[in-house]
Amino acid sequence: MIDLTLSEVLDRLNNGAVTSVALTQAYLDRIRQADPRVRAFLTLTEELALEQAAAADTRRAAGGSAPLLGVPLALKDVLATRGIQTTAGSRILQGFKPPYNATAVQKLLDAGAVILGKTNTDEFAMGSSTENSGYFTTHNPWDLERVPGGSSGGSAAAVAAGMAAGALGTDTGGSVRQPASLCGVVGLKPGYGRISRYGAFAYASSLDQIGTLSRTARDAALLLNVIAGPDPLDSTSMPIPVPDYTAALDGDVRGLRVGLPREYFTAGIQPEVEAAVRAAVEKLASLGAEVVEISLPHMSYGLPVYYLIATAECSANMARFDGVRYGQREDAGDMWEVYTNTRGHLLGPEVKRRIMLGTYALSAGYYDAYYRKAQEVRTLIREDFDRAFEQVDVIATPATPTTAFKIGEKIGDPLQMYLSDVYTTTVNLAGAAALSLPCGFDGRGLPIGLQLIGPAFEEGRLLRAGDAYQRVTDWHIHRPVVEEPTG
């Protein structure tokens, strides 16, 4: 059962071939077997999950229905869940149990989903490998010596290893798409404003977006159907209609104009990644899509612009974690010592690095030179995408420049780590939508991801293209073999 896609799980639940309790127990058994090696979960909610599954079975037996009734899912631990420890991967929030649910979480519960637990993340979603978690590093199910990506590495690893039918993550600069690529699953980052951010711990408020991790584009469409839509609790959520995303999955991409930006295929890309992505684009062309070479001339500025804007917003958002209102606190003689001890001892080095970078960029005498200039270049990047979408319907690029790297390989070199996001950050800066899906393996058997980018609220276009591609390829049906614990 754990090898089924989310849509297949739903079909079997609806036709009575399996109960939610049996299905949930199968995932819990898989977690017990695989997670000691993968370490995807920070918190497992076994008792709650079985209660929710039993309630789903009772509801279905009584003739009730809901879009995700009885489907077991996992949640990135930056999403508030009422009464369940929510740490954002940080020791400063160890033991914190929110009194409310994030809107996306509440929508899943209203749709009948079963929550298996909270997944590991880089601390406050700041990282590209899950090595920045305040608790432990998650391992890539395809090679346990390698990273799963980040910051939604726990969610991606859980789906890849068959420990959940799907999961939610967040994406500020690629944190859904990059781990999806490295773990061989599908990652969807909707357009900014498509999903409410209420209840998601803020890293960079103008860039953050909740996204999905799943086995297939169809699974992503099912999840997006549930969690998309405006929310009065989030003024940045857009008051626009939510289409039925599954209705667009007709397998037909004839006439779809696919842009291939020359700036994404330059020095630094792993040759196997470039070859796999180009082969995937050729496959779309064989289905009737039209491939057009395009240019995104300001793409090379994406990484520095992102790390100025994101860190500036981070420095403001992180001010609330001071040991006074919630979370852990280290007492001292006066208020300033409390702040210093709590933040100094309980926040990790990467979070502190980004707070300091952002504070510097916003400081007197530097604001215009750094933050304001970065916002001006962000406008140029957005305009690049706007012009491109006048020529093409979607843009195809690699999701990451390389396949998964070894744990510890880049943690001591922040610049090399940041370069892992070189193909994803511009999407967030532009507020666009993007989809990462498996398109091959390298010589070591590590997954490669294709990224499809579309206008902000044209997620259906991306899902249609991704679904058409997956109908004629089998990269997404491969599963990693996670070894049994030794000793």
Whether residue 231 contacts residue 101, with contact meaning beta carbons closer than 8 Å, is answered with no
> To which residue do tokens 């750094």 refer?
370
The residues annotated as belonging to the active site are 76, 151, 175
Cβ-based neighbours of 304, under 8 Å, separated by 6 or more: 374
Given the structure tokens 């068959």, which residue do they identify?
162
Neighbours of 391 (CB within 10 A): 13
